[in-house]
Structure 1
Amino acid sequence: MKAYIFPGQGAQFPGMGLDLYEKSDLAKELFEKANDILGFSITDIMFEGSAEDLKQTKVTQPAIFLHSVILAKTLGHNFKADMVAGHSLGEFSALVATSGLNFEDGLKLVSQRALAMQKACELQPSTMAAVLGLDDDIVEKVCAMTEGVVVAANYNCPGQLVISGEIDAVNKACETLKEEGARRALVLPVGGAFHSPLMEPAKEELANAIENTSFNAPSCPIYQNVTASAVTDENEIKANLISQLTAPVRWTQSVQQMVEDGATHFIEVGPGKVLQGLVKKIYREAEVSSAVFELNA
């Protein structure tokens, strides 16, 4: 069975999407539509901007979403998903690719999500750190006993967990985790504490936008970050998308469940190959590849 997977923040690169724009009339039409919806030329930044330009929150999330969704749309009949999943932001891309959300609504929600997260980051200085080489339960215990807000945020693969929270609490947790034998506990260059309780203001803002958006049942099950299980019910999908901002991304558990449910081939749709690497660390026997648009395929 084929599982299509959609990347999240951090997968962006200068020039992303330009090949699609130049090769496909459908892609060109969707990119131009995106410029109109967003009210600025995101294509100029994606195609010609620097890595620094692409780091702006209002740009990063819509850019990755657009690259993934437009690539999926240009695949046409070659997009044959038995199941899908997205890493954080990628969940919105997965829903649009499987008709759970339409293109316009998906882009508007992603843009609102990015701005709401940016606002939440500005309310309180916060950060994230990657922890390598420790079992999840040790990381969870250290977070629980550290003073202040610090939680497990991204279960990326066995031995790779990202923690998130207040700057002092994250720094203290990193020191303790190194003492516990972590190979690395490295603070990441991010704007704030994503997937932690500090995103509560963004969650409230996004909840309102999601509740007022029409969703459909996707064309195949989506394995959502919050539950790491197959979901097809629109109301459940909405609730999980809202919870996702303050809850951890259970990527390891999602991939394990997809494998258990029959996935053998994981196809990454969008910029980069980060998720393929994680899938191989979770399930070595998996076949992984990147989705590629071929003219007249």
Structure 2
Amino acid sequence: MTSTAFVFPGQGSQRVGMGADFVRRRPDLVDTYYRAADDLLGFPLSRLCHEGPAEALRDTAVTQPAVFLTSIVVLDVLRTHDVEPDVVAGHSLGEYAAAVCAGVLSWQDALRLVRLRGRLMAGVNERMPGAMAAVVGLDLPTVRDLCARAAAETGQVVEVANDNEPAQTVVSGQAAAVRAVAEAARRAGARRVVPLGVGAPFHCSLMRDIEAEFAEALAAVDFRDPSVPLVSSVTATALTSAEEIVSALRRQLTAPVRWTGTVRTLAGRGVRRYVEVGPGRVLGGLCRRTEPTARTFTTGTVGELAATVDALGPAGTEPAETETDTGTGTGTETGTETASAGTAAASL
């Protein structure tokens, strides 16, 4: 039997206007989510999502709750059409929306945690500015070796932050060491090396000094066992207890994102359909490049979600297999999106 996974995107998938067309169709979402989120956080998150400006939306402390909230709104709309997952996963930040989908915690508690997570991560960059870069065209062991050499040569921290798909790895650390890896990767034959415009050196040991404070916040929240399996991007294994999920969310700050392993674990559980729940379409591309038989569907706009419901809803008929099918009829990502915007959206 073919299974369906809901996969939730991370930071970098944000865009001005995300979620606005859903509100126009479903005004009830304003009171249920957007006004409630504004009141909970004490700033106009809904206006920033729908109107920007883009510069404000790029602030890590804003971006993370904005992407999370948009995913939760899209999830609500999907569920009104009786589209449900057999298993869930999230790319870094997206793991919080996945946990809400699986009934592990309330969306309000998750939003508070995501806001704190973003603020703490941004604070690390203020104290110790860092950088991230995506390496396209080299395998993971090669990039790990380049990081070890650059760290030894510069005396600075640089580590693998994301194993996004078999030929795309993101490195994170102090700026000089990241530059050294980028230069070495080009010499080693990388097809492309893309500096990422992110707010901090995520998913590396430079984040260690915020783990204790964030662990206290996690301990104050009521976590429950998931109603469906949650495959963690920290462990690339299915988590079935609240304790396991809390541990993974804590480790996530410093641990690399194992998205290649996550997709392979999902495929091993019979998943063939991957529904990207929230803004953007980056995860679909990563899933297809890891598991070429994957069928991917997007939900970032009303039109995309409608096409996904038509394909996967109770009365739906999944479209015939085509090379460009994404569940939206709009085609696959371009090479530029894959190498630049795609890596940025899958970095946090």
Task: Select which of 188, 209, 231 maps to 2:217.
Answer: 209
Instruction: Quote the Cα distance in structure 2 between the aligned partners of 1:74 and 1:156.
Output: 28
Q: Which runs of 5+ in 2 are unaligned?
A: 314-348
- Supply the AA of the counterpart residue of 1:34: A
Instruction: Quote the Cα distance in structure 1 between the aligned partners of 2:142 and 2:261.
Output: 17
Match of 1:56 in 2: 59
Q: Which moved more, 1:69-78 or 1:37-46?
A: 69-78
TM-superposed deviation, 1:19: 1.5
Q: Is the 8 A contact 1:119 1:202 kept in 2?
A: no
Q: Is the 8 A contact 1:26 1:74 kept in 2?
A: no
Instruction: Quote the Cα distance in structure 2 between the aligned partners of 1:42 and 1:31.
Output: 7
Instruction: Quote the Cα distance in structure 2 between the aligned partners of 1:232 and 1:273.
Output: 27
Instruction: Provide Cα deviations, 1:204-226, integer angstroms capped at 9, x if missing partner.
Output: 22111011111111221111111
TM-superposed deviation, 1:186: 2.5
Q: How do residues 21-60 of structure 1 correspond to structure 2 at under 5 angstroms? A: 21-29=23-31, 30-60=33-63
Runs of 4+ in 1 over 4 A off after TM superposition: 292-295
TM-score, length basis structure 1:
0.96
Instruction: Quote the Cα distance in structure 1 between the aligned partners of 2:5 and 2:124.
Output: 33
Match of 1:74 in 2: 77
- Supply the AA of the counterpart residue of 1:220: V
SS at match of 1:264: strand
Instruction: Quote the Cα distance in structure 2 between the aligned partners of 1:100 and 1:275.
Output: 22
Instruction: Quote the Cα distance in structure 1 between the aligned partners of 2:134 and 2:105.
Output: 32
Once superposed, what is the RMSD of the aligned Cα atoms? 1.5
Instruction: Quote the Cα distance in structure 1 between the aligned partners of 2:289 and 2:136.
Output: 13
The question of 1:93 aligning with 2:93 is answered no
TM-superposed deviation, 1:284: 1.0
Q: Is the 8 A contact 1:133 1:184 kept in 2?
A: yes
Instruction: Provide Cα deviations, 1:38-89, integer angstroms capped at 9, x if missing partner.
Output: 1011111111112222111221000100000111022225231111110110
Instruction: Quote the Cα distance in structure 2 between the aligned partners of 1:167 and 1:14.
Output: 29
Q: Is the 8 A contact 2:68 2:96 kept in 1?
A: yes
TM-superposed deviation, 1:174: 1.3
Match of 2:317 in 1: none
Instruction: Quote the Cα distance in structure 2 between the aligned partners of 1:79 and 1:214.
Output: 26
- Supply the AA of the counterpart residue of 1:11: S
TM-superposed deviation, 1:22: 2.1
Instruction: Quote the Cα distance in structure 2 between the aligned partners of 1:280 and 1:184.
Output: 20
Instruction: Provide Cα deviations, 1:79-123, integer angstroms capped at 9, x if missing partner.
Output: 311111101100001111221110110100000100010111111
TM-superposed deviation, 1:195: 0.2
Instruction: Quote the Cα distance in structure 2 between the aligned partners of 1:37 and 1:260.
Output: 39
Instruction: Quote the Cα distance in structure 1 between the aligned partners of 2:194 and 2:297.
Output: 29
The count of corresponding residues between Structure 1 and Structure 2 is: 296
Instruction: Quote the Cα distance in structure 1 between the aligned partners of 2:125 and 2:213.
Output: 14
TM-superposed deviation, 1:25: 4.3
Match of 1:129 in 2: 133
TM-superposed deviation, 1:146: 1.8
Q: How do residues 160-175 of structure 1 correspond to structure 2 at under 5 angstroms? A: 160-175=168-183
TM-superposed deviation, 1:26: 4.2
Q: Which moved more, 1:259-268 or 1:74-83?
A: 74-83
Q: Is the 8 A contact 1:225 1:254 kept in 2?
A: yes
Instruction: Quote the Cα distance in structure 2 between the aligned partners of 1:3 and 1:290.
Output: 12
Task: Select which of 230, 235, 239 maps to 2:238.
Answer: 230
Instruction: Percent identity, please.
Output: 41
Q: Is the 8 A contact 1:73 1:97 kept in 2?
A: no
Instruction: Quote the Cα distance in structure 2 between the aligned partners of 1:90 and 1:79.
Output: 19
Instruction: Quote the Cα distance in structure 1 between the aligned partners of 2:143 and 2:172.
Output: 12
Instruction: Provide Cα deviations, 1:169-194, integer angstroms capped at 9, x if missing partner.
Output: 11111111212111122221122210
The question of 1:146 aligning with 2:150 is answered yes
TM-score, length basis structure 2:
0.82
Q: Which moved more, 1:204-213 or 1:71-80?
A: 71-80
Q: Which runs of 5+ in 1 are unaligned?
A: none
Match of 1:264 in 2: 272
Match of 1:83 in 2: 87
